[in-house]
Structure 1
């Protein structure tokens, strides 16, 4: 079963984020706290949304998808960015990942989102093969850029003052 996450799911979502980070060989980077996730998903101005997959027999949480809206300047239409998709190893192959993606695609259709995009690690061949089986287009001509830590602070220190917009005439 796929359903929208609730506040009560936050501990399991955080645990799965850590499991995903361990699989991606970057567990030290998964620092989000339950409090941060609660605020991001269920605060007054949500930054993201989540779906959870439950095992039909046990009812236990076996996967999740965390996403947020984005905007495409070229098309002038919103889209969806999938930040994380994870299914626990013992539940893989049972259709939970495909069901989560299908539910997200349905959210895109319901909201008029024209694009549904996410990243996948280049070395993650099993996942890439799964995505290809769904008809996903891999945009190999694009490279992800990330600015963090010292380089982010140094660039921010060079920022000009940003004023308010001029009043309308």
Structure 2
């Protein structure tokens, strides 16, 4: 298996894997991807970046989508990992480790201050994987989100 930067022609495979991840996380009802917008934002506007894991028979079996963040406390950029997903039959073969190592390498080469992500609190296999990498759980923070509808309501007030 190899890890490489995703290409525009990988979009369909990545979307398929996003749907698999959503099913695993019991969130399939929240997936609302427009393929053209996804492709534009990821590959043309480069609002995020993606890595893919490719099997020996040239199939995409995993992906990581990430974007650059900024820590005011560190005074430097970092990487926020939005998604990391490996097909179940390829887990335990160091594919996830290879993805995280590649992201850590980018951080190191660019002088970034951190690599961070979120994980569902019930996802024990992932939590154990991340802790084994040396990642630390963060506490004391509450996550907030505004949906498109919330933002529209706010802007018309």
> What TM-score, normalized by structure 1, do the two folds share?
0.88
Match of 2:24 in 1: 23
Please give the TM-score of this superposition, normalised by the length of structure 2: 0.94
**Coordinate RMSD, CA, aligned:** 1.2
How many residue pairs end up in the alignment? Answer: 156
What SS class does the counterpart of residue 100 from structure 1 fall into? helix
Matched with 1:117 is 116
Matches within 5 A, 1:35-114: 35-43=36-44, 45-56=45-56, 58-114=57-113
Runs of 4+ residues over 2 Å off in structure 1: 149-158
Would the aligned equivalents of 1:14 and 1:33 in 2 still touch at CA under 8 Å? no
3-state SS, counterpart of residue 107 of structure 1: helix
Structure ranking higher on relative contact order (CA contacts 8 Å, 6+ apart) = 2
Larger radius of gyration: 1
Unaligned runs of 5+ in 2: none
For residues 106-146 of structure 1, the C-alpha deviation after alignment (integer angstroms, 9 at most, x for no partner) is 11111111111111001111110110001101102212111
